[in-house]
Amino acid sequence: MLTSPNPYGSRTLTIERDRASSVAYLRGSKGTVHGAVWLANHGPAPETVDLARANAGLPPVMPRVNTINPSGTPPLDAAALSVLWFEEGDGVAIFENGELLAVIPGWSDLERGMPGYARDAVGESPFAWSLAEAMEGLSPRVTKARAYWQWREAEGSWASFQQFVMGHLDSRLGPPGRYWDVSGARLPVVGVTERPAGYGRDYTVLSTVGMSCQRMPTAELYDTACRIELAIATRQDPGVATRVLLWLGQYPWRSVTWLGHGHTARWFQGPGTFPLDGGHQGVIMLADPVGLPDLSGFAFGGESVRWLWLLPLTDTELRLAQDQGHQVLSDRLAVQGRI
């Protein structure tokens, strides 16, 4: 009935129906179902779950006790449906004639018995939870999502945001040098600004500009910053080092995940191709490492933005962080004077 990809191309909403029911699915780029919610029965509801239908891979039919319309409703009209993606791209709201019909949040997980919320659902079932009972928490999310995309699609919104970030970095790192757009003509828009040596330092700083313009997927489920930018301090060719930020600048939205303090990332190509010198094969991300500029003080959307510094790691160091945790590695880097 309906197919709607999120703005980042990493999730797709599909609404499907047969004669018995309609269901919305949230799928990844490879077709894997990451979330789903029943929308409506189109005939009399059964007394219990129809296991044979479910096992056959057909859209589920809601049992009588869990629907406000046990006699069923007419099939949904595709022309009456509309979609609103959350800012993070990991959740979506579905409307029928402008009325909220269902929400599939980013944390929806069928294997854990956590479906989405549906207008016609009663209580909690494996196929849908009551939307009415969750509106206190969901309504502000839907309102914020609508306001965000209205702002984002307005003329001059990106230029205004970009100017604010650049101004903040001017105050912390001095005047800019070159600027690269590393978006590849797709959302989220991300650039890299160069801050040449000077301003009390003998190295260049590269920083992303644009990651914090949208919250990271799933980050709200953890006690972490939802908005980040990435930075690198380097004495080598900044144009080459920029490739690291090109690699990671859109990663949270492409992979529907988040980046935070202590995370590591292994370079996706073969040994010897990593852009930063010294036999490195990946990076560790650290907030406020000793000896590097303090970039705090910028906020967007009512939330503080955290800059994560990328420090290059060897294969051995990547394994150490994986086996013993990032704090052990951070202590070693500090002793070596690398942070």
CB burial class (10 A; 0-12, 13-18, 19+) of residue 77?
exposed
Residue 338: the pLDDT is 56
pLDDT grade, residue 155 (50/70/90)? very high
Instruction: Delimit the domains of the chain by residue range.
Output: 2-152, 157-335
Query: Alpha-carbon distance 283 to 309, whole Å?
Result: 9
- pTM to 2 decimals? 0.92
Residue 128: the pLDDT is 96
Question: How much is the average pLDDT of 24-37?
Answer: 92
Are the C-beta atoms of residues 12 and 104 closer than 8 Å to each other?
A: no
Question: Is residue 150 predicted with pLDDT exceeding 90?
Answer: yes
What does the block give as tokens for 332? 């070693």
Question: Is residue 337 predicted with pLDDT exceeding 80?
Answer: no
Are the C-beta atoms of residues 110 and 35 closer than 8 Å to each other?
A: yes
Query: Alpha-carbon distance 195 to 306, whole Å?
Result: 18
**Side chain identity, residue 227:** R
Nearest CA to 158 out of 123, 183, 132, 130 is that of 183
Looking up tokens 């313009």, which residue turns up? 213
